[in-house]
Amino acid sequence: MESTQEIPKLCLAPMVRVCTHPFRLLALRHGADFIYTEEIIDKKLIDVERIVNEDLKTIDYVSNKDKSVVLRISEEEKPKLVCQLGTNNPETVVKAAKIIQNDVHSIDINMGCPEFFSIHAGMGAGLVKLPEKARSILQALTENIDIPISCKIRILPEATDTFEFIKTMQSTGIEHLSIHSRIREELSKGFAHWSIIREVIQNKDITIPIRANGDCFSCNDAVEIKRYTSCDGILIARGACHNPAIFNDIKDHWTTVSHEETKEEPAEDPYQEHKKPLHECGLDKLVEEETKLEEFKPEVKEGMSKNQAKKRAKKMLKKSKKDNSAQNGTDGKQSKTLARIIETRNHGCNKVEILSLCQEYLKIAIEYGNRFGNTKYTLNYMLRTHKKEEEAFQRVNSARNMKEMAKALSVDEFYTEQVAERPVLISYFTDTFYKKKNKLKRQKIEEEE
């Protein structure tokens, strides 16, 4: 029997370093309806040159400062590409959006990043505590930019504060709003609170489409999130790293789920932790414990010299980065906790063919001259939750250049063919193509002088 529920828009969520050009293409080719870029800070984007790259058939936005590629876009993804910007300023974000608007489908503002550097600068999750600033940013965009605008938020510890914040954002005329249903202090730990997404959608004063985000790791999760919250779309981050084909898997699964089946609560609901009312989740205690971060803000730390405060803040930043990479398995170790959670949720879904997906990803990365460091990082993310692929994970982490990576994943023949056809690819792998080009240009000018 066919499900009568409409399939929500399935989106690849923004992920720093993961959502660069090759991973976005991979997700798109496996059924994602929209693909988000990694967060790009507006200030970085206003200092770029837009270059049509004939070698790669892409548009490259290249930093004027260090000639690195800030964003690479191909024709195939343009109609579905959401560019996520990080900002704390309405003027700079409008400037950045104007630069990019003809090459993307829409623009999203990051109001969810919990990192110290972001909060400290009044960006990311810092913005949900500064509703007037957040409103002015979205208002400036909807008034000055011709493509759809959206934002992605984290929730606040009090449900009523989240409702009020969303209502204020809604008043700016944005197209939709995505909710990562955790508070800032939770980072990506514990269970996402789907209950708050449901409450937001049931709130009669909130009428804009809501995209749900947090803990969608399988077809089963997607069906349950849609059924429970009635969201308009789902943003998938870590679930898409574990299985970049999750989008088509969800679509395949959808028609096999009967309406009756999706309507009834199972006797023992495997999702009960996601559905707990917010006030039962001990968030206040967590907020209290985590105020450490606030405490280390240089301007609020009394009795410290400027230098001492700066040192403290740097130390905090380093620690938060270290904690994050340990938690996410980017420190060369597989992420066992996440692997366990995902395993319990994949029952009945398509088998994840991760090695062939890694090969497919790597081929795109080679073909489009993706930076080696970025390619390795993303492959690490794709493999870190597959306990059975520990060996491949180790091989990927030992590779020191693109040639070794191709060998590690048995696509060396493809690598050799591509590089023989276009030797220039090698300078793209090291992200030195535009640097070298610039150096030659400068030398030529000097010679002429």
Tell me: does residue 16 bind ligand FMN (CB under 6 A): yes
- Residue 53: name the closest of 91, 103, 94, 10 by CA: 103
Q: Is 214 in the site for ligand FMN (CB under 6 A)?
A: yes
Least spacing, CB of residue 406 vs ligand FMN, in Å? 24
Q: Tell the smallest beta-carbon distance from residue 23 to ligand FMN (Å).
A: 11
The piece of 15-23, 254-262, 296-304, 307-315 that touches ligand FMN (CB under 6 A) is 15-23
Q: Cα separations (Å) of 269 from 208, 250, 265, 274, 286?
A: 29, 20, 7, 10, 26
CB 75 within 8 A of CB 57: yes
Instruction: List Cα–Cα distances, 437 to 127, 428, 432, 441, 449, in angstroms.
Output: 39, 12, 8, 6, 19
Of the residues 22, 90, 112, 126, which one makes contact with ligand FMN according to CB under 6 A: 112
Sign of CA dihedral 105, 111, 114, 117: positive
Catalytic member of 113, 216, 219, 358: 113
From 13, 48, 100, 109, residue interacting with ligand FMN (rule: CB under 6 A): 13
Among 21, 152, 345, 384, interactor with ligand FMN by CB under 6 A: 152
Question: How many residues in the shown chain lie near ligand FMN by CB under 6 A?
Answer: 23
Alpha helices in 243-282 (DSSP H): 246-254, 259-263, 272-275
State how far the Cα of 225 lies from the Cα of 31, in Å rounded to an integer: 18
The contact mask relative to ligand FMN for 314-333 (x = CB under 6 A, - = no) is --------------x-----
Least distance (Å) between residue 248 CB and ligand FMN: 17
Distance CA 208, CA 94 (A): 22
Q: Considering the rule CB under 6 A, would residue 216 count as an interface residue with ligand FMN?
A: yes
191 CB neighbour count, 10 Å cutoff: 18
| Binding positions for ligand FMN, 63-92, rule CB under 6 A | 84
Q: Which two tokens stand for residue 264?
A: 């009834």
Least Å distance between CB 110 and ligand FMN? 4
Region near ligand FMN per CB under 6 A, out of 1-9, 157-165, 234-242, 253-261? 234-242
For the residues of 295-350, what is the DSSP string, one character each? HT-TTT-TT--HHHHHHHHHHHHHHHHHHHHHHHTTTSS--HHHHHHHHHH-TTSP
To the query of whether residue 113 is one of the catalytic residues in this protein, the response is yes
Q: At its nearest, how many Å lie between ligand FMN and the CB of residue 214?
A: 5
149 binds ligand FMN (CB under 6 A): no
User: Where do the DSSP E strands lie in 184-269?
Assistant: 210-213, 233-236
User: Which residue from 63, 139, 188, 203 is in contact with ligand FMN, where contact means CB under 6 A?
Assistant: 188
Residue count of the chain: 449
Sole binder of ligand FMN in the list 35, 196, 237, 354 (CB under 6 A): 237
Which range touches ligand FMN (CB under 6 A), out of 196-204, 231-239, 334-342, 412-420?
A: 231-239
| CB half-sphere exposure, 236, CA atoms < 13 A | 33
Check residue 15 for interaction with ligand FMN (CB under 6 A).
yes
3-state secondary structure of 231: coil
| Catalytic (active-site) positions | 113
Where do contacts with ligand FMN occur on this chain (CB under 6 A)?
Answer: 13-16, 18, 38-39, 84, 110, 112-113, 152, 180, 188, 213-216, 236-239, 328
